[in-house]
Amino acid sequence: MPELPEVETTMRGIKPHLLGRKITQVLVREPRLRWPVPHNLGQLATGQQIQSVDRRAKYLKIHLGNGAIMVHLGMSGSLRIVDPKVPVQKHDHVDLNLSSGLILRYRDPRKFGSFHWLDGNADSHPLLSSLGPEPLSSDFTGQYLFDTSRGRKVAIKNFLMNSHVVAGVGNIYANEALFMAGIRPTRAAGNVSLTRYRRLADCIKAVLQAAIEKGGTTLRDFVGGTGEAGYFAHALNVYGRSGYPCPVCGRRLREIRIGQRGSVFCSRCQT
DNA sequence: ACGAAGCCCTGCAAGC
DNA sequence: TGCTTGCAGGGCTTCG
């Protein structure tokens, strides 16, 4: 499940293969993703040179001369640079052929991902315009979380996973950051002190940054190979570890459902 | 404005 | 062994 670190790592991995190349052909085998792939994507993108590649939340943006292609990986999507000799497999929904002769290939078994076309003013797109700050940016602070959360009764874990509050913090890293900060995921967002929010903001940044650094090694092979993304499972303290001992105090980690998402925490360390 | 539930989809695991 | 069922999950959309 690509979380922000995987998207960032994907972006860094494919970027050198994209910059300065032209898109020579767009092949959409399956347009029925989370939203339909724009029918005129090929018409818009073919012949255009790639100017830059960046990320906003978990959206990857490929900027062309006349607009940008925006991709979301959903929870099972991947983008890989492949040689044309690599056979197309099931769930390979979109190919962007590049002037280098290589292909940027999108695969997504569960089709939760999406392709969008952004015209000139990219950030005015409705999916981008209402996003909260990037968690790794200086705009994202404990003070910001404190101010934004006043009067909110929602569980802090859901609060963190709300993209209007902060962009791109998914289930895994919400669990991990709350554990690291010692905050129980069910606690009302409006009932967390500024001191604890400062610590939480630091923990979110730390856990994302660490995963990006690990992702740099786990996901290094973007050309050929299997391209399988590691889930950084070895680095996780609580996610997927329900029933196992807390790495800090040894008590059995508990799992509950918050907002239909699995939430794992230590009932001793997290208050 | 806020919060909770619904929905899209497939692979995998568990149950019969 | 082979089927059926349930579940997971990002995050936008809809409903209350």
In angstroms, the CA of A110 and the C1' of B10 are apart by: 5
Residue closest to A33 by CA, chosen among A132, A109, A84: A109
The amino acid present at A43, given as its one-letter code, is Q
The whole-model pTM stands at 0.92
Q: For residues A227 and A162, give the distance between their C-alpha atoms in angstroms, rounded to a whole number.
A: 29
Q: Are A3 and A214 in contact (CB under 8 A)?
A: no
A24 touches A46 (CB < 8 A): yes
Measured from the Cβ of residue A190, the count of other Cβ atoms closer than 10 Å reads 15
pLDDT in tens, A175-221: 999 999 999 999 999 999 999 999 999 999 999 998 888 776 555 45
A261 is catalytic: yes
Q: Is the CB of A172 under 7 A from strand C?
A: yes
Instruction: Assess whether A171 (CB) lies less than 7 A from strand C.
Output: yes
pLDDT of residue A224: 43
Å between CA of A75 and C1' of C2: 29
Report the alpha-carbon distance of residue A146 to residue A103 in Å, rounded. Answer: 45
Could you tell me if A111 and A92 are in contact, meaning their C-beta atoms sit under 8 angstroms apart?
Answer: no
Q: Looking up tokens 């459902």, which residue turns up?
A: A257
Taking the CA of residue A260 and the C1' sugar atom of nucleotide C6, their distance in angstroms comes to 14
Interval A4-35: pLDDT, tens: 888 898 999 899 999 999 999 999 999 999 98
Closest CA to A10 of A88, A101, A107: A107
A163 touches strand C (CB under 7 A): yes
Query: Which residue's CA lies closest to nucleotide B1 at its C1' atom?
Result: A152
- How far does Cα A68 stand from its chain's mean position? 19
Question: Whole-angstrom Cα distance, residue A248 to residue A219?
Answer: 29
Residue A170 CB closer than 7 angstroms to strand C?
yes
Give pLDDT tens digits for A147-166. 999 999 999 999 999 999 99
